[in-house]
Amino acid sequence: MDMLQFPANIAAAAGVNFAAIMPEVILSVIAMALLLVNVFINSEQKAYLGYLSLIGIVVTFFSVVSGWGAPQSGFNNSVLQDNFSLFFKGTFLVSAFLTILITDQYLKREECNWGEIYPLILFATVGMMLMASGTDLMTIFLGLEVLSVSLYVLAGFNRANLKSNEAGLKYFLLGAFSTGFLLYGMALIYGSTGTTRVAAIASYISQNGMVLSNPMLVAGMLLMAVGFSFKIAAAPFHMWTPDVYEGAPTPMTAFMSVGPKAAGFAAFLRVFIVALPAMKADWSELLWVLAVLTMTVGNITALKQTNIKRMLAYSSIAHAGYVLVGFTAGNAVGTAGVLFYMLSYAFMNIGAFAIIVLVGRKGEENNNVSDYAGFGFKHPVLGMCMSIFLFSLAGIPPAAGFIGKFYLFSGAIQAGYVWLAIIGVLNSAASVYYYLRVMVFMYMKDPTEEFDWLAVSPSLALCLLLSVAGVLIPGIVPGTLLDLAQKAILM
Amino acid sequence: METIFFTIVAAVTVLSGIMVVTCRNPINSALSLILTFFCIATLYVTLDAPFMAAVQVLVYAGAIMVLIVFVIMLLNIRSEVGRRYTHAGIIGTVVGFLMLVLTFNFLNNSSLTGAKGLITTDVINKIGHTELIARSMFTDFLLPFEITSILLLVAIIGAVILSKKKI
Amino acid sequence: MGFELFGLPMIYYIAMIVKVLVVFVFVLLTVAYATYAERKIIGHMQVRLGPMRTGWHGLLQPIADGIKLFFKEEIVPSQSDKFAFLLAPIIALIPAFIGFAVIPFGDTIEVMGYKIPLQIAAFYDTAAGKVVDLNVGVLYILALASVGVYGIVLAGWASNSKYSLLGGLRSSAQMISYELAAGLAIISVFMMSESLSLQKIVADQAGFGWYAFKQPLAFILFFICSIAEINRTPFDLPEAETELVSGFCTEYSSMKYAMFFMAEYANMVTVCAVTTTLFLGGWHGPGFLPGWVWFIAKVYFLIFVCMWIRATYPRYRYDQLMRLGWKVFLPLTLLNIVVTGLIAR
């Protein structure tokens, strides 16, 4: 492009292509419309906003499905809507959908029934989608910021609750700190390659091999890895996770542990596999260590937790570790495993959190593992659901969690990381202890409570139904979903 | 002459940057930070980027720092409570020193790599810095620019939700 | 004149220094006599005479005031933050004066074969045959305006007095609010001139194509917001005598107080000069008088309007002020930008 010439057609010069960002556009328009609607309705009617956002998510989902198989690039390669990003977008939409289903009941119970929560969830989803489809470091970064800012607010949404305040503030401070690392890394990569477009970085490195010996590029890669590790809660950058997950409103914890983690992995994968394949030897060493640390720290700390939200927080750290195993492998099976696992993790984790929402009482009471004593007998169906989710989290067949782990670890073995796979399996075995402890309380202790405050609203029931289906169907017949995941991988 | 000028400004920048973290009185820290921003703006001017310089002063020194000073004054923090130099500070110093050594190492060993851009000093003088920024913002980086608007909207909603007395 | 320094002819430096000195002395004089004019004008508007004793019709009053303030006792409160207390008046004064660096106050004049533009931060590019000035002149002025607040805020904080602190807090909130509206108001001017350079903006307004006619709403909003930003009546809440016993400068005396006073009037002169440049055609006017005369005439007229406003309107209440800024001016400026965007292209 000749810089001295004023572009004749700005839209053409900007490479405007709405097809590449259709889901994001639909969802943000709906979120803004909800903000307007919110002004005109009273506090009893806030649930309608939830229903409207569910409709919005379904519409967006159709747009995602219709884009499958037809990659669209736009805005001078700022975004690329390929199968990879579409699969992740589907995952984000599923997690947002399930989260909104359990939000209403929680908000009414905690008396923080403000309609802004729905637009915020939708905006967070938009941010995640941009992270998944961003092929420019700037797009990825801004998507991450949209996501993070929404999450800071969502974590502190229960304003009357001190723990929620603490969660919001802690998440904000540490999140801002980690963003600094990420941005610094991006700046160094830009400095050493002269571009922010992911594909252009890769082609520059492949054409100018000597840049690999530039310490600036290596430092940039390391700092970006640190930044992304914060976002996916990988050890040793996981310190914020337990406090934030415990303090945040339960539905938001469910959302946070699933969607943003998947979005972090999406951007992590995109940047490292597409932009820095030349440094694969370097970063897979790094990820190896991260994966082992994350799995082990998460699982060992989870063993001792009494609060179930905290326990699931550490469990989510451990799950990030399993996914990192597949990422370390970096081959087709491992990467497909990452995609498959993030989707099934959305179902099982949000399902488990739905039960926690049900059992909890006003003021985030009744969240200890011991509070589940006898729950399985008093409410056999709900107990059954919880058991399915816990089995899936532990990776016991026939649940989806098993298939996911199987693919992650077999990817690692194929790539020659046998020890990594062995450590993963050992960790997975250790995790069975704390998942089963909840079931021990549910089925082998005498009830201390009548659980008479439990009221399953229709939306929550729908969430449980969908989650159980989402855990069992891919667990028993994984073919279709795996097929999609394999079509979606980047290689 | 530019070298002498740069040396003076850079020295003041570094010194005021150090003052930000060593001053006991928060207001003095804030003032040092404002000085740092001014010096950075000056460096932008010497780099043929007057727009960046003006925006740096306008946004950072003029708006953000006023808010920071406003908050310090509102809370009326006269001097710091407790000690500033704890074990974390010592570790921080050590890590910071290591980072400094590392940075010097980087700078000494790095060659200038990266694709050359289209915007040279010549182009800046012909077209003007402001227009060049506007052009790349509305062509190459249109999408990030639009995402920023959503980001700001979310931040506004968040600020209202978390801090308004009665929603 | 063959002697060169750093690649530029010597006349360039001489012209620069002369321009700086002339403008500085002129602004100082204007500031001094603006105080006198204000007392006189308000006096006559209220059917009084104003100062009459010192000199003919009190013409020496500003000098007498200056001498008085200079010889007053210097009081520094014992509990104040000494350094910030000293720094505040200086910070208040400097931005008020250096804003003039980018304002073109006349056409290019020719001295000994060299063309010299009547604008401090500009030179005549003989190769290109045009005047080159700071390409972000307007932003420079906005940036300085936003920095000016520190003097007042610091003064309020350093005095360690409740009245001063309240004055400082009010001032910072007020300046941030109105800075935004003022900045947005002049965006429509940029949109029409397609430049941030003040030379270009002035050149566009030649022959009565004043932006005050093309952008009347922006003109009025910018002028009001600027008055609010420099804390003039009816927006002088930071120093409201009746409630805050002159607010941020309660504890100041002698020369330091005089510096705040000068800063306030210098700010007024700057704002009027900026408004003239942006909206009233700068130095353009009918050809029978040189450009700089027109410029001074327009600036003085605006200064007169400021004083007129002071004599006419009562002070706003604080919440009214905030409501006006955020709920009236800000939406109006945004609307103005949208309308300009739709019409201008």
- For residue B50, list chain C residues with Cβ-Cβ distance below 8 A: 134-136
- Interface contact B153, partner A, CB < 8 A: yes
Does residue A277 lie within any of the structural domains? yes
Distance from CA of B79 to the nearest CA of A (A): 23
- For residue A202, list chain B residues with Cβ-Cβ distance below 8 A: none
pLDDT value at position B101?
A: 87
Q: Which residue of C has its CA nearest to B45?
A: C134
Kind and range of the H or E element at C93?
helix C82-98
Contact A145 B151 (CB under 8 A): yes
Contact C172 B128 (CB under 8 A): no
Residue C26: pLDDT above 80?
A: yes
Distance from CA of C157 to the nearest CA of B (A): 7
C-alpha gyration radius of chain C: 21
Contact A200 B115 (CB under 8 A): yes
Q: Write the single-letter amino acid at C311.
A: A
Residue C207: pLDDT above 80?
A: no
Distance from CA of A297 to the nearest CA of B (A): 23
- Interface contact B158, partner A, CB < 8 A: yes
Contact B161 A143 (CB under 8 A): no
Does residue A323 lie within any of the structural domains? yes
Pick C157's closest partner by Cβ from B51, B61, B73. B73
Pick A142's closest partner by Cβ from B119, B135, B151. B151
Distance from CA of B1 to the nearest CA of A (A): 27
- Interface contact B139, partner A, CB < 8 A: yes
Average the pLDDT over B115-122 and give the result: 75
- Interface contact A183, partner B, CB < 8 A: no
Does residue A1 lie within any of the structural domains? no
Contact C150 B76 (CB under 8 A): no
3-state secondary structure chain A: CCCCCCCCCHHHHCCCCHHHHHHHHHHHHHHHHHHHHHHHCCHHHHHHHHHHHHHHHHHHHHHHHHCCCCCEEECCCCEEECHHHHHHHHHHHHHHHHHHHHHHHHHHHHCCCCCCHHHHHHHHHHHHHHHHHECEHHHHHHHHHHHHHHHHHHHCCCCCCHHHHHHHHHHHHHHHHHHHHHHHHHHHHHHHHCCCEHHHHHHHHHHCHHHHHCHHHHHHHHHHHHHHHHHHCCCCCCCHHHHHHHHCCHHHHHHHHHHHHHHHHHHHHHHHHHHCHHHHHHHHHHHHHHHHHHHHHHHHHHCCCCEHHHHHHHHHHHHHHHHHHHHHHCCHHHHHHHHHHHHHHHHHHHHHHHHHHHHCECCCECCEHHHHCCHHHHCHHHHHHHHHHHHHHHCCCCCHHHHHHHHHHHHHHHCCCHHHHHHHHHHHHHHHHHHHHHHHHHHHCCCCCCCCCCCCCHHHHHHHHHHHHHHHHHHHCCHHHHHHHHHHCCC
Distance from CA of C177 to the nearest CA of B (A): 10
- Interface contact B67, partner A, CB < 8 A: no
Share of chain C above pLDDT 70, in %: 93
Local structure of residue C131 (DSSP, 8 states): E
Please, where are the H alpha helices in chain B? 2-22, 26-46, 50-55, 65-75, 87-109, 121-127, 129-138, 142-163
Contact B113 A16 (CB under 8 A): no
Compute how many other C-beta atoms are within 10 angstroms of the C-beta atom of residue C86. Answer: 14
Q: Which residue of A has its CA nearest to B119?
A: A3
Query: What ipTM was reported for this prediction?
Result: 0.91
Chain A, 318 to 357: residues with Cβ < 8 Å from chain B are none
Higher pLDDT, C225 or A10: C225
pLDDT value at position A491?
A: 52
Pick B157's closest partner by Cβ from A1, A116, A204. A116
Q: Among A173, A131, A138, which residue's Cα sits nearest to residue A152?
A: A173
Contact C146 B51 (CB under 8 A): no
- Contact residues of B toward C, CB < 8 A: 1, 25, 27-28, 31, 34, 50-51, 53-55, 57-58, 61-63, 66-67, 69-70, 73-74, 76, 128-130
Among B58, B60, B73, B122, the strongest candidate for a mutation testing the C interface, having the largest count of C CBs within 10 A, is B58
Contact B161 A114 (CB under 8 A): yes
The rounded mean pLDDT for chain B is 83
pLDDT value at position A229?
A: 93
What is the number of structural domains in chain A?
Answer: 1
Bridge partners, residue C118, by sequence: C106
Give ∠ CA A167-A173-A177 in degrees, rounded to 5: 140
Confidence label for C1 from pLDDT (cuts 50, 70 and 90): very low
- For residue C150, list chain B residues with Cβ-Cβ distance below 8 A: 34, 66, 69
Report the distance separating Cα A142 and Cα A24, nearest Å.
13
Q: Name residues whose C-beta falls within 8 Å of residue A166's C-beta, 6 or more positions apart in sequence.
A: A243, A247
Give ∠ CA B125-B128-B129 in degrees, rounded to 5: 105
Report the distance separating Cα B163 and Cα B161, nearest Å.
6
- For residue A197, list chain B residues with Cβ-Cβ distance below 8 A: none
Q: Which residue of C has its CA nearest to B50?
A: C136
pLDDT value at position C244?
A: 67
Contact C81 B129 (CB under 8 A): no
- For residue B1, list chain C residues with Cβ-Cβ distance below 8 A: 6
**Neighbour subunits, C (≥3 Cβ pairs < 8 A):** B
Chain segment C172-206, per-residue pLDDT in tens: 788 888 888 888 888 888 888 888 888 888 888 88
pLDDT value at position B21?
A: 82
Contact A21 B109 (CB under 8 A): no
Pick B62's closest partner by Cβ from C135, C146, C157. C146
Contact B66 C6 (CB under 8 A): no
Among A75, A151, A188, the strongest candidate for a mutation testing the B interface, having the largest count of B CBs within 10 A, is A75
Contact C146 B61 (CB under 8 A): yes
Residue B166: pLDDT above 80?
A: no
Report the distance separating Cα A159 and Cα A153, nearest Å.
10
Contact C143 B28 (CB under 8 A): no
Contact C140 B51 (CB under 8 A): no
Distance from CA of B78 to the nearest CA of A (A): 24
Structural domain harbouring A44: 14-488
Q: Write the single-letter amino acid at C254.
A: S
Instruction: Find where tokens 């890769």 sit.
Output: A202
Q: Are C30 and C273 in contact (CB under 8 A)?
A: no
Helices A332-359 and A400-414 cross at an angle (nearest 10°) of 150
Among B121, B137, B145, B150, the strongest candidate for a mutation testing the A interface, having the largest count of A CBs within 10 A, is B150
Q: Are A332 and A452 in contact (CB under 8 A)?
A: no
- Interface contact B149, partner A, CB < 8 A: no
Contact B57 C147 (CB under 8 A): yes
Across C126-273, the runs of DSSP E, i.e. the strands, are: 130-133
Left if phi > 0, otherwise alpha if psi is -120 to 50, otherwise beta: which for A457? beta
Higher pLDDT, A236 or C157: A236
Contact A146 B143 (CB under 8 A): no
- For residue C156, list chain B residues with Cβ-Cβ distance below 8 A: 73
Local structure of residue C329 (DSSP, 8 states): I
Average the pLDDT over B129-149 and give the result: 88
Q: Are A20 and B139 in contact (CB under 8 A)?
A: no
- For residue B63, list chain C residues with Cβ-Cβ distance below 8 A: 146, 176, 179
pLDDT value at position C165?
A: 81
Q: From first to last of the 491 residues of chain A, give the pLDDT tens digit.
A: 566 677 778 778 888 888 889 999 999 999 999 999 998 988 888 888 999 999 999 999 999 999 888 888 888 888 999 999 999 999 999 999 999 999 988 888 888 888 889 999 999 999 999 999 999 999 999 999 999 999 999 999 988 888 899 999 999 999 999 999 999 999 989 988 888 999 999 999 988 887 787 788 888 899 999 999 999 999 888 889 999 999 999 999 999 999 899 999 999 999 999 988 888 888 888 999 999 999 999 999 999 888 999 999 999 999 999 999 999 988 888 899 999 999 999 999 999 999 999 888 887 777 888 888 888 888 889 999 999 999 999 988 888 999 999 999 999 999 989 999 999 999 999 999 999 999 998 888 888 877 877 888 889 999 999 999 999 998 888 888 888 888 888 65
Distance from CA of A158 to the nearest CA of B (A): 9
- pTM of the complete model: 0.89
Contact B147 A191 (CB under 8 A): no
